[in-house]
Amino acid sequence: MTMTGVILGVLSVITIVSIGEGVKRQVVGQINLLGSDLISVRPGNLVTRDKNGNIVKVNQIGNFAFGSGSMSDSDLETIKSSSGVKTVVPIGLVNSGVKLDDVQYNQSLVIATNDKFPAMLKQTITHGVFFDDTDSNKHVVVIGRRVAENLFAENVPIGRTFTIRGTEFVVIGVFEEFNYSPLAYGTDLNQAIAMPYAAGQELTGHNQLAQVLVRPESVDQTTAAIASINKKMTLAHGGQNDFTVLKQDENLSVVSDILKVFTAFISGVAAMSLLIGGIGIMNIMLVSVTERTREIGIRKAIGATNRQISEQFFVEATILSATGGAIGIGLAFVVNAVLRIVTHLNPVISLEVVLISAGVSIALGIVFGVIPAVRAARKDPIEALRYE
Amino acid sequence: MPIIELKEISKIFGFGDATTLALDEIDLVIEKGEFVAIMGPSGSGKSTLMNLIGLLDRPTYGSYKLGGKDVSRLRTNQLAKIRRDRVGYVFQSFNLLPRLNVLENVALPLVYKGVGANKRIKTASALLERVGLSDREYYLPKHLSGGQTQRAAIARALVNSPDIIIADEPTGNLDSESSRVVMELLSDIHKLGNTILLVTHNPELTRYVNRVVYMHDGVIVHDENTPIGEVPKLARKALNLFQRKTEEDDLAGVSALMKAIPTKHTTKKPRAKAKKPTSRSKSMKRIKK
Residue-wise DSSP of A234-252: HHHTTT---EEEEEHHHHH
Residue B184 near residue B177 (C-beta atoms within 8 A)? no
pLDDT in tens, B4-30: 999 999 999 988 788 888 898 999 999
**Per-residue confidence at A230, pLDDT binned at 50, 70, 90?**
confident
**Per-residue confidence at B239, pLDDT binned at 50, 70, 90?**
very low
Compute the distance between CA of residue A278 and CA of residue A76 in angstroms, rounded to an integer.
58
Q: Does residue A137 carry a pLDDT above 50?
A: yes
Of A106, A101, A99, the C-alpha closest to A167 is A99
Q: Residue B269: CA atoms inside 13 Å, Cβ hemisphere, count?
A: 24
Weakest mean pLDDT among B143-152, B194-203, B249-258? B249-258
DSSP secondary structure letters along A20-46: HHHHHHHHHHHHHHH-TT-EEEEES--
Q: Give the domain ranges of chain B.
A: 2-288
- Tell me whether residues A382 and B97 touch, CB distance under 8 A: no
Average pLDDT over residues B136-158: 93
| pLDDT reported for residue A183 | 67
- Tell me whether residues B83 and A303 touch, CB distance under 8 A: yes
Chain A CB contacts of B81 under 8 Å are 303, 305
Which residues does residue B43 pair with via DSSP β-bridges, in sequence order? Answer: none
pLDDT in tens, A234-258: 888 887 777 888 887 777 777 777 7
CA B227 to chain A, closest CA, distance in angstroms equals: 31
pLDDT in tens, A339-371: 888 877 778 888 888 998 899 999 999 999 999
- A309 to chain B: closest CA residue: B112
φ, ψ for residue B72, nearest 5 deg:
-75, -15
Number of other CB atoms surrounding residue A148 within 10 Å: 22
Percent of chain A with pLDDT over 70: 94
Chains A and B form CB pairs within 8 A to the count of: 54
Chain B CB contacts of A307 under 8 Å are 77
Compute the distance between CA of residue B151 and CA of residue B157 in angstroms, rounded to an integer.
10
- Tell me whether residues A306 and B77 touch, CB distance under 8 A: yes
| pLDDT reported for residue A257 | 76
Chain A CB contacts of B77 under 8 Å are 305-307
Chain B CB contacts of A311 under 8 Å are none
Residue B154 near residue B147 (C-beta atoms within 8 A)? no
Q: Does residue B182 carry a pLDDT above 90?
A: yes
Compute the distance between CA of residue A312 and CA of residue A298 in angstroms, rounded to an integer.
14
Average pLDDT over residues A370-381: 93
Alpha-carbon distances of A178 from A150, A174, A212, rounded to whole Å: 16, 11, 19
The more confident residue out of A206 and A294 is A294
Weakest mean pLDDT among A314-318, B86-90, B261-265? B261-265
- Tell me whether residues A298 and B95 touch, CB distance under 8 A: yes
Q: Tell whether A264 is within 8 A of chain B (Cβ).
A: no
- A296 to chain B: closest CA residue: B97
CA B167 to chain A, closest CA, distance in angstroms equals: 13
Task: Return the CATH fold of B2-288.
Answer: Rossmann fold (3.40.50)
Chain A CB contacts of B161 under 8 Å are none
| pLDDT reported for residue B276 | 44
Q: Give the domain ranges of chain A.
A: 4-21+257-386, 70-241
- Tell me whether residues B95 and A381 touch, CB distance under 8 A: no
Q: Tell whether A305 is within 8 A of chain B (Cβ).
A: yes
**Which residue of B80, B113, B160 is in closest CB contact with A300?**
B80
Compute the distance between CA of residue B234 and CA of residue B115 in angstroms, rounded to an integer.
46
CA B77 to chain A, closest CA, distance in angstroms equals: 5
Average pLDDT over residues A305-312: 93
- Tell me whether residues A304 and B91 touch, CB distance under 8 A: no
Average pLDDT over residues B155-183: 92
- Tell me whether residues B81 and A303 touch, CB distance under 8 A: yes
**Per-residue confidence at B105, pLDDT binned at 50, 70, 90?**
very high
| pLDDT reported for residue B287 | 46
- Tell me whether residues B76 and A306 touch, CB distance under 8 A: yes
- B165 to chain A: closest CA residue: A302
**Which residue of A297, A302, A381 is in closest CB contact with B109?**
A302
ipTM > 0.90 for the complex: no
- Tell me whether residues B109 and A301 touch, CB distance under 8 A: no
Estimate to the nearest angstrom the gap between the alpha carbon of A34 and the chain centroid.
19
| pLDDT reported for residue B267 | 45
- B81 to chain A: closest CA residue: A303
- Listed in sequence order, the residues at least 6 apart from A18 whose beta carbon sits closer than 8 Å to its beta carbon are A332, A336, A347, A348, A349, A350, A353
Of A238, A209, A248, A264, the C-alpha closest to A44 is A209
| pLDDT reported for residue A334 | 94
Q: Does residue A166 carry a pLDDT above 90?
A: no
The more confident residue out of A60 and A39 is A39
DSSP secondary structure letters along B141-175: GGGS-HHHHHHHHHHHHHTT--SEEEEESTTTTS-
- Tell me whether residues A301 and B83 touch, CB distance under 8 A: yes
| pLDDT reported for residue B238 | 59
Average pLDDT over residues A60-72: 57
CA B268 to chain A, closest CA, distance in angstroms equals: 30
| pLDDT reported for residue A282 | 92
Of A142, A127, A122, the C-alpha closest to A199 is A142
The more confident residue out of A229 and B262 is A229
| pLDDT reported for residue A132 | 82
Average pLDDT over residues B100-104: 94
Mean residue pLDDT of chain A comes to: 84
Chain A CB contacts of B79 under 8 Å are none
Chain B CB contacts of A305 under 8 Å are 76-77, 80-81, 112
Chain B CB contacts of A385 under 8 Å are 56, 91, 95
- Tell me whether residues A303 and B77 touch, CB distance under 8 A: no
| pLDDT reported for residue A295 | 93
The H or E element containing residue A167 is strand A167-175
Q: Tell whether A304 is within 8 A of chain B (Cβ).
A: yes
- Tell me whether residues B109 and A307 touch, CB distance under 8 A: no
Chain A CB contacts of B113 under 8 Å are 303
**Per-residue confidence at A222, pLDDT binned at 50, 70, 90?**
confident
Percent of chain A with pLDDT over 90: 21
| pLDDT reported for residue B269 | 45
Q: Does residue B67 carry a pLDDT above 70?
A: yes
The H or E element containing residue A99 is strand A98-100
**Per-residue confidence at A59, pLDDT binned at 50, 70, 90?**
low
**Per-residue confidence at B285, pLDDT binned at 50, 70, 90?**
very low
**Per-residue confidence at B90, pLDDT binned at 50, 70, 90?**
very high
**Per-residue confidence at B186, pLDDT binned at 50, 70, 90?**
very high
Q: Does residue B265 carry a pLDDT above 60?
A: no
Q: Does residue B250 carry a pLDDT above 60?
A: no
Chain A CB contacts of B51 under 8 Å are 382
φ, ψ for residue B142, nearest 5 deg:
-70, -15
Q: Tell whether A388 is within 8 A of chain B (Cβ).
A: no
Q: Tell whether A382 is within 8 A of chain B (Cβ).
A: yes
- Tell me whether residues B51 and A304 touch, CB distance under 8 A: no
- Tell me whether residues A301 and B97 touch, CB distance under 8 A: no
Weakest mean pLDDT among A45-54, B51-60, B80-89? A45-54
- Tell me whether residues A306 and B113 touch, CB distance under 8 A: no
| pLDDT reported for residue B145 | 93
| pLDDT reported for residue B263 | 52
- Tell me whether residues A304 and B89 touch, CB distance under 8 A: no
